[in-house]
C-alpha cells in the first residue's frame, strides 16, 4: 500500500541525506522503463533550476496537459512514457515547441501577479476566509472529528475562481463552492486530480487500452470536457463584458487588468487563441487551489499536534486583533503575524505541496563532474531536500524557528524551494503566501485545533500535489 511504501522511501532517503555532505547525492532510479536521475542536495538543485535552457517539464505533467493543455505549468512536456528511446523522446520534445513561446506567455502573464495587483486580491481572501470560518463554526465544539480538507479545497477554489467587490481572480466568475454553487464543476476538478495521480502511480494505466478498459479513460475524457466547456463559457462571458465596457476597442491594456482580462485584452496583439487562453486559465484553476489547500491543511494539522507552537500563534493573533474575531484583517495586521508566517514556512518545508519537480534535459548538464546527457529525465524532490540535516538542525521535526531571520539568511538559498526556483519558479507564490496567511488568521481567531492522527501517522502521499493519506481529521474548539 502507498502509505507503507512512503515509510520505506523516507528511511532510504534519510540515510542518504544523513551521510557525508560531501557525497554526490546524485541517484539513479527507474520509473517503469524510464531511467531517472534524482538530485538531493541544494547545491545540485541550484545548477539545474537556474538553467535558462533546461526548463522543459517532465511527466507526470503530460497527463495533466490533456486537461489544461500546454499552459505555463506543462508547456513543452511530451510523454516519455512510451516505447521511444530517450534520444527520440528528447527530439520529439524539441520539435513540439520552443522556449521562446513559453517565455512570451510568461511575460504576458507576469504583470497579473504584480504586488499592486495582489493588493486587489485581498478582498477575495478576506471574504472567502470569513465564509470558511462560518462553515467550520457549525462543526466546532461538537466533540466529533471533522476532515477539514474538503472545506479548504472549496475555499481555495472559490478564491482562485471568483471575485468579490470588483476584485477579480483567475477565472473571473464566482463558483460559490463553499455554499454549494457549481457543485458539478467543483467535483469534476477534484475527481480529475485523483485520476491523474491514479494514472501516474500505476504503470499499467500507461497502456491506453487498459486505461479505457477499466473505465478510467472514459471517465477522464468526460470530466475534461465538462471542465473545458465551463472555462470556455467563462471566456466568452468575460469577452462580452469587456466589449460592453468598450475596453477591447482600445490598444492600451489597463494597468490593473488581471489574468483572464489581461489575456483577452492582449489576444489580438499576441495571436492568442481562445484555446490558449483556456489552457492558461485552467492551469491556474488547477495549480492555484489544490496546492494552497494542502499547505493550509498541513499547517493546521501540525499546529494541532504541537500545543506549544499553537499557543504562540494564538497569542500573536490575539495581540494583533485584540480578541476581535469578526473584523477584516488589514495589510498591517498580516505584516505583524511573523510567527504565523514561520509556522507556514515550516509546514511548507516538511510537507511541500509540490513534492517532486521534473525536468527533461534539452542539452547536456554537468553537475559536480557528472555529465547528465540531453534527453534524460531529472527529478528534484523538495520533500527530501527540505529534510537535509546539513541545512536544518531539527530536520525531521516541526520546528518553526528554522525560519528565524538569521537562520534563513545563513541557509543555502536552494535548501528551501516550496515554489521551485530559477526561471520556472511559481509565478503565484506571493499570491499563495498572502492567501494562506489571510485564511489562517481567520481560522485561528475563531478556533483552536487538536489533530486526531499526529505525525508520523496520516502519511503524506507524494502525488502531483502532496496530500494526506486520510485527510485532515481534527477537533475544533471555539475560542470566543
**301 pLDDT band (50/70/90 cuts)?**
very high
Report residue 145 as a C-alpha cell.
472529528
pLDDT of residue 89: 34
Cβ atoms of 48 and 378 within 8 Å: the answer is yes
Higher pLDDT, 438 or 184: 438
pLDDT of residue 297: 97
To the question of whether residue 343 is assigned a binding role by annotation, the answer is no
pLDDT of residue 61: 59
Cβ atoms of 309 and 258 within 8 Å: the answer is no
d(CA 216, CA 202): 12
User: Quick one: which of 186, 422, 436, 216 has its CA closest to 334?
Assistant: 436
Do the strands 357-360 and 26-31 form a parallel or antiparallel pair, or are they unpaired?
unpaired
Average pLDDT score over residue span 378-383:
89
Higher pLDDT, 101 or 2: 2
d(CA 174, CA 164): 8
Do the strands 146-147 and 473-478 form a parallel or antiparallel pair, or are they unpaired?
antiparallel
Output the DSSP codes for 153-166. HHHHHHHHH--BTT
Average pLDDT score over residue span 113-137:
80
Cβ atoms of 332 and 312 within 8 Å: the answer is no
Higher pLDDT, 115 or 336: 336
Residue 453: pLDDT over 70: yes
d(CA 117, CA 113): 6
Beta strands (DSSP E) in 191-284 are: none
**181 pLDDT band (50/70/90 cuts)?**
confident
- DSSP 3-state of 99: helix
Residue 198: pLDDT over 80: yes
Do the strands 377-380 and 34-39 form a parallel or antiparallel pair, or are they unpaired?
parallel
Cβ atoms of 281 and 272 within 8 Å: the answer is no
153 burial type by CB count under 10 A (0-12 exposed, 13-18 middle, 19+ buried): buried
Average pLDDT score over residue span 84-110:
45
pLDDT of residue 19: 65
pLDDT per position as a tens digit, 145-159: 999 999 999 898 888
Residue 102: pLDDT over 60: no
- DSSP 3-state of 122: helix
Identify how many contiguous H helices and E strands the chain contains and give both numbers: 19, 11
Residue 314: pLDDT over 50: yes
Q: How many CB atoms lie within 10 A of CB 16?
A: 17
Average pLDDT score over residue span 112-135:
77
**130 pLDDT band (50/70/90 cuts)?**
very high
Report residue 310 as a C-alpha cell.
499553537
Residue 176: pLDDT over 50: yes
Q: How long is the chain? A: 480
d(CA 199, CA 388): 30
CA geometry: angle at 376 spanning 38 and 216, to 5°? 80
User: Quick one: which of 186, 423, 427, 418 has its CA closest to 284?
Assistant: 427
CA 252 to chain CA centroid, nearest Å: 32
Higher pLDDT, 72 or 350: 350
Amino acid at each position: 500500500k502507498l502509505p507503507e511504501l512512503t515509510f520505506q522511501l523516507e528511511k532510504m532517503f534519510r540515510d542518504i541525506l544523513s551521510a557525508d555532505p560531501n557525497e554526490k547525492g546524485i541517484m539513479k532510479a527507474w520509473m517503469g522503463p524510464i531511467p531517472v536521475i534524482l538530485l538531493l542536495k541544494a547545491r545540485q538543485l541550484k545548477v539545474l533550476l537556474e538553467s535558462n535552457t533546461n526548463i522543459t517539464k517532465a511527466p507526470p505533467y503530460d497527463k495533466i496537459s490533456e486537461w489544461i493543455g500546454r499552459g505555463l505549468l506543462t508547456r513543452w512536456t511530451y510523454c516519455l512514457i512510451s516505447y521511444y528511446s530517450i534520444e527520440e523522446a528528447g527530439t520529439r520534445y524539441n520539435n513540439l515547441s520552443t522556449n521562446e513561446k513559453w517565455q512570451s506567455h510568461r511575460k504576458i502573464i507576469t504583470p497579473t501577479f504584480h504586488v499592486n495587483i495582489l493588493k486587489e486580491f485581498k478582498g477575495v481572501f478576506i471574504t472567502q476566509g470569513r465564509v470558511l470560518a462560518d462553515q467550520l463554526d457549525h462543526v466546532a465544539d461538537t466533540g466529533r472529528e471533522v476532515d477539514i480538507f474538503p472545506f479548504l479545497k472549496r475555499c481555495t477554489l472559490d478564491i482562485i475562481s471568483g471575485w468579490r467587490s470588483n476584485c477579480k481572480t483567475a477565472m473571473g466568475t464566482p463558483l460559490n463552492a463553499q455554499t454549494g454553487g457549481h457543485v458539478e464543476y467543483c467535483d469534476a476538478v477534484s475527481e480529475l486530480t485523483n485520476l491523474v495521480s491514479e494514472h501516474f502511480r500505476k504503470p499499467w494505466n500507461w497502456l491506453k487500452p487498459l486505461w479505457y478498459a477499466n473505465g478510467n479513460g472514459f471517465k477522464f475524457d468526460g470530466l475534461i470536457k465538462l471542465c473545458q466547456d465551463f472555462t470556455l463559457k467563462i471566456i466568452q462571458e468575460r469577452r462580452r463584458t469587456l466589449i460592453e465596457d468598450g475596453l477591447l476597442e482600445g490598444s492600451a491594456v489597463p494597468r490593473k487588468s488581471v489574468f483572464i482580462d489581461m489575456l483577452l485584452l492582449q489576444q489580438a496583439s499576441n495571436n492568442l487563441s481562445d484555446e490558449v487562453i483556456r489552457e492558461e486559465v485552467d492551469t491556474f484553476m488547477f495549480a492555484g487551489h489544490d496546492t494552497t489547500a494542502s499547505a493550509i491543511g498541513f499547517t493546521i494539522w501540525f499546529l494541532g499536534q504541537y500545543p506549544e507552537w499553537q499557543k504562540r500563534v494564538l497569542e500573536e493573533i490575539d495581540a494583533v486583533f485584540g480578541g476581535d474575531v469578526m473584523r477584516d484583517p488589514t495589510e498591517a495586521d498580516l505584516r505583524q503575524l511573523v510567527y504565523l508566517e514561520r509556522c507556514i514556512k515550516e509546514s511548507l518545508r516538511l510537507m511541500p505541496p509540490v513534492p517532486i519537480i521534473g525536468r527533461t534535459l534539452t542539452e547536456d548538464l554537468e553537475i559536480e563532474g557528472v555529465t547528465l546527457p540531453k534527453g534524460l529525465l531529472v527529478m528534484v524532490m523538495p520533500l527530501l531536500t527540505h529534510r537535509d540535516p546539513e541545512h536544518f538542525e531539527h530536520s525531521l521535526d516541526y520546528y518553526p524557528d528554522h525560519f528565524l531571520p538569521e537562520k534563513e539568511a545563513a541557509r543555502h538559498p536552494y535548501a528551501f524551494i516550496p515554489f521551485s526556483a530559477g526561471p520556472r519558479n511559481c509565478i503565484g507564490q506571493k499570491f499563495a503566501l498572502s492567501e494562506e496567511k489571510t485564511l489562517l488568521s481567520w481560522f485561528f481567531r475563531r478556533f483552536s485545533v487538536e489533530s486526531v492522527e499526529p505525525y508520523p501517522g496520516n502519511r503524506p502521499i507524494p502525488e502531483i500535489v502532496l496530500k494526506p493519506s486520510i485527510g485532515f481529521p481534527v477537533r475544533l474548539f471555539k475560542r470566543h
